Chains A and B, each alone.
Chain A
Amino acid sequence: MAHITHFDFQAGNTFLHGMDIRFKLAIFIGVNLAVAQSALVGLSGLTVLLAITFPSLGISFKKLLIELRLFILLLLLVFLARAVSETGESLVSGWLRQVTLQGIQKGGVVCWRLLLIVLLGLLFIRTSRSWEIKAAIQWYLDPIPKVPAQRLSLMFSLMFRFFPMILELHADISDAQQSRLVGLRKNPLFRLKVMTVALLENTFQKVDEMTVAMESRCYSDERTGPILISRRSDWVMLVTSAAGCLVMVFV
C-alpha cells in the first residue's frame, strides 16, 4: 500500500513551513556549506538543533532509521574504509591492526557530516511545497541571461516530487520481490534486471499519468508565478543562521 515517506512534503504550520522559500533555500545552502567545513562542536550543535526540530515536524526517528537503513549501511562502509585506510596509532593487534584511532575519528566525522547533510535535505523537502521550490529556483535563475529559468525551475520541482515517489516504489517493489524469493536467485544480472525494470515500469506509469494531467491543463512555460513575500522574521532567521554558520566553521 502506498505510504508517505519522510522525503515528502508534509503540511504543517511550523515556522519552517511559513518561511519565505528564497530565505529557506539560501539558509539551507549556507548550512550545508558550513557542515562540510565544521568540526565536532559545530556538528554537535546542529545535531541537537535537528533533534529538537524533527519531533515538532512529526518525524519519527524509528521510521526514519528504517527508511534510511541502506544509506546507514553505506555510511558504515564509509566509516570502515576510513578506519582502516588512515595512518596513525593502531588500536588493536592482529589482523585488525590497520584500524587506527585517527581513522575512527576521521571516519566518524565524515559519516556524521554525511548524515547531517541528508537530514538537512529531508528537513527542506519536508517543509517546502514543490511550487515553492520552483518559485525560489526561478527567482534565483531569472537574472542570469539566456537561462530558461522557468523550465529549469519546473524540472527542479518535478525532480523533488519524483524523488520520494521513486524511493517509495523501490521499497514496495523490494518487499514484493523478497516475498517472491527473488533475493535467492544466484544470478545478480537477473536480480538487477527484475528490480530495475519493475521500478522503471511503475515510475513511468505514474509519470505518464502526471504528464497527461499537465497536458490536459495546457501546461506551458508562460505561467503566472506565485508572489513571494519576505517578512521581518525571515531576515532575522537569515542573519541568525549566517552567524550560526560562521560559529560552526570557526569554533
Chain B
Amino acid sequence: MSTERPIQLRSTVYASLFAALISAGAFIAFPLGPVPIVLQNMFVLLAGVLLGWKWGAASVLIYLLAGAVGFPVFSAGRGGLAHLFGPTGGYLMSYLPAVVIVGAVSGYLFTLAAGNRKKEIYFNILSMILGSVIVYAIGVSWLKVVTGLSWGKVIAVGMLPFLIGDGLKIGAAAYIAEIVRPRMKA
C-alpha cells in the first residue's frame, strides 16, 4: 500500500473536522463579560496554522458550501445564499483568503523557527493577526458597500466591538496550536 494514501486520508479527515469545528463554533459561545463570543473565526485561523494553506482552504470551502446550501452553520445559526451575500457575507467570504494566507505564512515562519517553541508561538500570533486583518479588510469593506454607511460607522459597528475578543482568541489559538500540532504529526 502506498504511504501517500493514508496521509491524504488523514488530511481529508482533519480538514472535515475543522469544517465541523468552524460550523460548531457558531453554536459554542464563550462568556466574556456581558456579551458571549463565538469561536468560529478562531477555528478558521487554527485551520490555517494546523492544516496549512491547502487543506485549510479545503475545510473553509466545505464550510462555506454547507452554509450556502442552507445548513445553519454561519454565525448565529444562519445559513443560505442570502446570508452569504448579505451585509455580513464579506466576513464569511474573507475566511477563504484569510486561511490561505495564515497557512502559507505560518508554514513559512514555522520552518524559520527551527523548533524554538517561543518563536513558533510568536510566529503563530503574527500569522493569525495577518489573517484577522484580511477578515476585517474584506468584511468591513463589504459591509460598507452593502449598507452604504460611512467608513467611521462601519468600523465602529463591524470591527471595534470585536477586537478585544479577537485578541483573546488569537492569544489562545497560538498556544493551542502548539499543543495540538504534535498530536497531528503523530
User: Chain A interface (Cβ within 8 Å of chain B)?
Assistant: 25, 28-29, 31-33, 35-37, 70-71, 73-75, 77-78, 114-115, 117-118, 120-121, 124, 151-152, 154-156, 158-163, 165-167, 170, 183, 188-189, 191-193, 195-197, 200-201, 203-204, 207-208, 210-211, 214-215, 218-220
Report chain B residues within 8 Å CB of A118.
72, 77
Give B1-47 interface residues, CB cut-off 8 Å to A: 1, 5-6, 9-10, 12-17, 19-21, 23-24, 27-32, 35-36, 38-39, 42
Q: Does B155 contact A (CB under 8 A)?
A: no
Given known A-B contacts A192-B30, A197-B179, A159 and B66 have beta carbons under 8 A apart? yes
Interface pick from B120-128, B135-143, B170-178: B170-178
Report chain B residues within 8 Å CB of A189.
168, 171-172
Chain A: minimal CB distance from B168 (Å): 6
Report chain A residues within 8 Å CB of B10.
211, 215
What are 30 residue pairs bridging A and B, where the CB atoms are less than 8 Å apart in the complex?
A25-B69, A32-B69, A33-B70, A70-B27, A75-B76, A77-B36, A117-B72, A117-B78, A151-B12, A155-B12, A155-B59, A156-B66, A158-B13, A158-B16, A158-B17, A159-B16, A159-B19, A159-B66, A162-B16, A163-B23, A167-B28, A188-B32, A192-B169, A193-B172, A200-B176, A201-B179, A203-B17, A203-B21, A204-B180, A214-B13
Chain A: minimal CB distance from B160 (Å): 15
Supplied contacts A151-B12, A159-B62, 11 more A-B pairs, CB within 8 Å: A75-B76, A155-B62, A158-B13, A158-B17, A163-B20, A167-B24, A167-B27, A192-B168, A192-B169, A204-B180, A214-B13
Report chain B residues within 8 Å CB of A35.
80
Query: How many cross-chain pairs have Cβ atoms below 8 Å apart between A and B?
Result: 158
Given known A-B contacts A155-B15, A188-B32, A166 and B184 have beta carbons under 8 A apart? no
Q: Would B29 and A200 count as touching, CB distance under 8 A?
A: no
State which of B65, B70, B169 has its C-beta within 8 Å of the C-beta of A117: B70
Report chain B residues within 8 Å CB of A36.
80, 82-83
State which of A70, A78, A120 has its C-beta within 8 Å of the C-beta of B70: A120
A158 to B79, CA, bound (A): 19
Give B43-80 interface residues, CB cut-off 8 Å to A: 58-59, 62-63, 65-66, 69-72, 76-80
Report chain B residues within 8 Å CB of A207.
13-14, 17
Report chain A residues within 8 Å CB of B6.
215
Q: Does B81 contact A (CB under 8 A)?
A: yes
Q: Would A155 and B80 count as touching, CB distance under 8 A?
A: no
Q: Which of B28, B31, B35, B36 is the most central at the interface, judged by chain A CB atoms within 10 Å of its CB?
A: B28
Report chain A residues within 8 Å CB of B21.
162, 166, 200, 203
Report chain A residues within 8 Å CB of B12.
151, 154-155, 158
Chain B: minimal CB distance from A122 (Å): 8
Q: Would B66 and A188 count as touching, CB distance under 8 A?
A: no
Q: Would A218 and B168 count as touching, CB distance under 8 A?
A: no
Report chain B residues within 8 Å CB of A78.
76
Q: Would B82 and A33 count as touching, CB distance under 8 A?
A: yes
A151 to B8, CA, bound (A): 10
Given known A-B contacts A120-B70, A200-B180, A155 and B19 have beta carbons under 8 A apart? yes
A215 to B173, CA, bound (A): 29
Q: Which of B23, B66, B71, B184 is the most central at the interface, judged by chain A CB atoms within 10 Å of its CB?
A: B71
Report chain A residues within 8 Å CB of B9.
211, 214-215, 219-220
Q: Would B23 and A211 count as touching, CB distance under 8 A?
A: no
Q: Which of B9, B12, B24, B179 is the most central at the interface, judged by chain A CB atoms within 10 Å of its CB?
A: B24
Report chain A residues within 8 Å CB of B30.
191-192, 195
Chain A: minimal CB distance from B118 (Å): 17
Q: Which 9 A-B pairs have the closest CB atoms?
A: A32-B70, A162-B20, A158-B16, A36-B82, A166-B24, A121-B72, A118-B72, A118-B77, A192-B172
